[in-house]
């Protein structure tokens, strides 16, 4: 029997401000960390409830683009409660440059996308975007739930 679960994800109220970089971000081949404070920081409101017991953490991953070309990204990973709920704003520093990108290109960004990812308690953890059909059972939202797994728009966002 499937355990009832509900995803309600609100990714909104984006604010960009310089703050210190977050720890725990890892670099892929060819990526470079921006030195000092993150040039852009998003505050993203997230609300999830009744997550499957396999879900140990949530991650919000934000990407800055110029057109379709990704320039920089960053993410924040947060542990959820044992009840499977999380309702708070997270801070996402965008301070990792994609290969062949420069800090100058950040000022040329014209759109953004922030998405929700789920991490299970496996060793090493599996990372999945919640999906009603293409994710493992533990990462699927309950049928009929109000659900948004990403937000995006013009950069900088209107305040």
Q: Are strands 96-97 and 69-79 parallel, antiparallel or unpaired?
A: antiparallel
Q: What is the mean pLDDT of residues 83-87?
A: 93
Cα gap 51→82, rounded to integer Å:
9
Cα gap 99→31, rounded to integer Å:
5
Q: Is the pLDDT confidence value at 96 over 70?
A: yes
pLDDT digit string, tens, across residues 51-78: 999 999 999 999 999 999 999 999 999 9
**What's the domain count of the chain?**
1
pLDDT digit string, tens, across residues 25-41: 789 999 999 988 889 99
Domain span at residue 55 reads 32-141
CATH number at residue 45: 2.60.40
Do the domain assignments include residue 6?
A: no
Angle at 88 between CA 82 and CA 92, to 5 degrees: 110
Q: Is the pLDDT confidence value at 47 over 60?
A: yes
- Provide the pLDDT confidence category of residue 1 given band limits of 50, 70 and 90: very low
Q: What DSSP state is assigned to residue 57?
A: E
Please tell me the predicted confidence (pLDDT) of residue 159: 64
- The owner of tokens 């009929």 is 144
């Amino acid at each position: 029997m499937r355990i009832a679960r509900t995803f309600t994800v609100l990714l909104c109220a984006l604010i960009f401000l310089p703050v210190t970089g977050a720890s725990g971000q890892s670099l892929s081949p060819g990526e470079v960390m921006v030195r000092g404070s993150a040039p852009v920081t998003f505050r993203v409101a997230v609300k999830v409830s009744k997550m499957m017991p396999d879900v140990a953490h949530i991650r919000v991953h934000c990407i800055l683009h110029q057109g379709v070309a990704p320039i920089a990204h960053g993410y924040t990973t947060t542990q959820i409660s044992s009840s499977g709920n999380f309702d708070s704003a997270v801070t996402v520093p965008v301070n990792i440059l994609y290969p062949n990108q420069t800090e100058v290109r950040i000022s040329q960004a014209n759109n953004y996308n922030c998405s929700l990812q789920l991490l299970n308690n496996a060793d090493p953890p599996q990372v999945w975007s919640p999906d009603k059909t293409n994710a493992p059972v533990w990462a699927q939202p309950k049928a009929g739930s109000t659900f948004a797994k990403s937000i995006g728009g013009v950069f900088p966002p209107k305040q």
